[in-house]
Every structure is written in C-alpha cells, then in structure tokens.
Amino acid sequence: MLNLKNISFSYAREKIFNDINVQIDTTLITAVAGRNGTGKTTLTRLIMGLMKPDAGTIELNGKIISDMPSYILAKDIGYVFQNPDHQLFASSVHSEAAYAPLALGMDIKLAEENVQQALIDTELADKQECMPQLLSLGDKQRLSIASALAAVPKLLILDEPTSGQDCRERTVLLRLMRKLNKKGIGIILITHDMDILAEHADRVLVLSNKCIAFEGTPRELFTDEERTAALGLELPEAVRISHEMKLELCLTPAELYNKIAVRREENGKNN
Ligand SMILES: Nc1ncnc2c1ncn2[C@@H]1O[C@H](COP(=O)(O)OP(=O)(O)OP(=O)(O)O)[C@@H](O)[C@H]1O
C-alpha cells in the first residue's frame, strides 16, 4: 500500500496540493487523471522522492519514504518519463537496461539475469546491441520500462506512456503493462486517454482544485456523466456510444459489441 497522508506542496508561490489523503493499492493498476496542470506529474515526483512535500508523509508498505532520497527509492519504485529521450543516455540497449541495477549496487550476475528478463518482457531481447537513440518511439518507451524493471521495482510509475505512439506500439505497451501487473508489479499510470483508463485501470484518482476530487473504479467514474465533465474529462468512446444507444454502461469496445449483439438478438426474437 502507498499511503499519502496530509500532503501539501507548492512551487514557489503556486499551491499545487492542499492536504491530500489517499491510499493507493500497489497490487493494482491505478490511473491518475485530471485537467492539464492539476499536478499529476508533481504527485508522482513526490512519490518518487524527486521533490519533498511541504507537509505530510508518504508511506510505502508502512515505511515512511517521503524523507528518503530518490536514488534509494529507485530500488522500489521505477519511474518512466513521458518522453523517453529525457531518460535514455547509454550507447546500447543492454547498457541502458543494466545501468540502474549496477548503480544500485546489485550483484553483477543477478543484475545480468534481471536485465535479460527485463529485455525479454519488453520484447527487446533481440535489440541488445542497438543504439537507444535509433529505436522507434515505442521501442524507446519500452526500453525506459526495461531500465526500470531491471532494478526489480515493486511499483512502476508510467507518465503518459503511449503518447505519440501508433496503434500497434500502443497495443504492445498496454499488453506489457498488464503483463507486469499480473507478475505482481503495481502500476501508477498518468493518462489523458480515457479509452485507456476505462479499459485498463482498476482504480482511478482524479486531481482537481489542489485535491483528489474523485477516487474509485472507472465504472463508478463514468456512471456520472455530469461529474466526469465537471472534472474536465472526456467520456471514453464505448461509454459515450452506450449512453447514446441507451445500453447499460460499457467501458470497452468488447463490452459494447457484446451488449449490441444481445440487443439485436432480443429484437430478433421480439419481431
Ligand atoms: N518545476 C516547476 N516549477 C514551477 N512550477 C511548476 C514546475 N513544474 C510544474 N509546475 C506547475 O505546477 C502545476 C502542475 O504541473 P504538473 O506538470 O504536475 O501538472 P500535470 O497535471 O501533470 O499537467 P499535464 O497534464 O499538462 O502534464 C502547473 O501549473 C505547472 O505549470
């Protein structure tokens, strides 16, 4: 469990959070959403120890982490930036993935095993000698994830991981995210993409007005159309169409197709 207690934070004179309290289940995929500038990235930087709260504490599994330096926290929490070019610096895929475990002092043999597993998980095992800068955006993003995974984190924070990617790369990344979660890694996913949020998140936090304005499941969030709009969020396509067709709320295209098929069948029987 990640427990944020009475967190307040300001940049110079701009207050970003005013006494936030929230528990995040680190076995799940938790999406963090909200309008631009509501503090999604700031929240995850506080969790990562890249910045310190002005007040309050952050605990991971009962241990206070908000006073720990980020390089110590990197053992437990992996952070993947929105733009992988801000993160990648090594001359090969392998050395990029090996950097974190070696810098954290992991035994060389164990580090190599973890690097190989991370590269297999991220489908980059056949690109070990490639230059990171020459990879596609999707490969770069997965390499950033591999670098975090090689340190064997308990929690992975992904900041808009699919931005700028094509449909195929996006699918590969989302499949990877679910696979990692099934292997026991908690995911915090910052996203503006409500289709992704509806389909892949177990829980959602929405930031607004310097606090957590909503906490619950995607289904609970999108059940109330007015609240969703007030929080500055779009409805996912499947939700919008199911509302328009006066069907039960559908979060995903698959759910929507099933509900439409059932309705057709019922209409067929009645005619
Ligand atoms: N280093 C900084 N110094 C001063 N102000 C900052 C800094 N970083 C962010 N801010 C401001 O803090 C507020 C929250 O920024 P943050 O990037 O956390 O929001 P966000 O919800 O992630 O935004 P977006 O959806 O646009 O990525 C914004 O008003 C932003 O301009």
Which of 9, 17, 35, 38 maximizes ligand 1 atoms within 8 Å of its Cβ, making it the mutation to test the pocket? 38
Mean pLDDT, rounded, for 185-211: 96
- Amino acid of residue 130: C
- Of all protein residues, the one whose alpha carbon is nearest to atom 25 of ligand 1 is 36
Question: Can you give the residue range of the structural domain that contains 254?
Answer: 236-271
The CATH number that applies at residue 213 is 3.40.50.300
Mean pLDDT, rounded, for 227-239: 96
- Which residue, 245, 249, 247, 259, is CA-closest to 228? 249
Specify if 136 maps to a domain.
yes
Nearest atom, ligand 1, residue 42 CA: 18
The yes-or-no verdict on residue 236 having pLDDT over 90 is: yes
| Cβ atoms 252, 225 nearer than 8 A | no
Q: What percent of the chain has pLDDT over 90?
A: 82
The yes-or-no verdict on residue 265 having pLDDT over 90 is: no
Please indicate, yes or no, whether residues 216 and 142 belong to a single structural domain of this protein: yes
Predicted pLDDT of residue 165: 84
Specify if 229 maps to a domain.
no
Distance CA 91, CA 112 (A): 17
The yes-or-no verdict on residue 164 having pLDDT over 90 is: no
Specify if 231 maps to a domain.
no
Please indicate, yes or no, whether residues 29 and 108 belong to a single structural domain of this protein: yes
CB-based pocket (< 6 A), ligand 1:
11, 14, 16, 34, 36-42
111-157 pLDDT, tens digit each: 999 999 999 999 999 999 999 999 999 999 999 999 999 999 999 99
Provide the domain count of the chain.
2
Predicted pLDDT of residue 166: 87
Please indicate, yes or no, whether residues 105 and 179 belong to a single structural domain of this protein: yes
51-97 pLDDT, tens digit each: 999 999 999 999 999 999 888 898 899 999 888 888 888 889 999 99
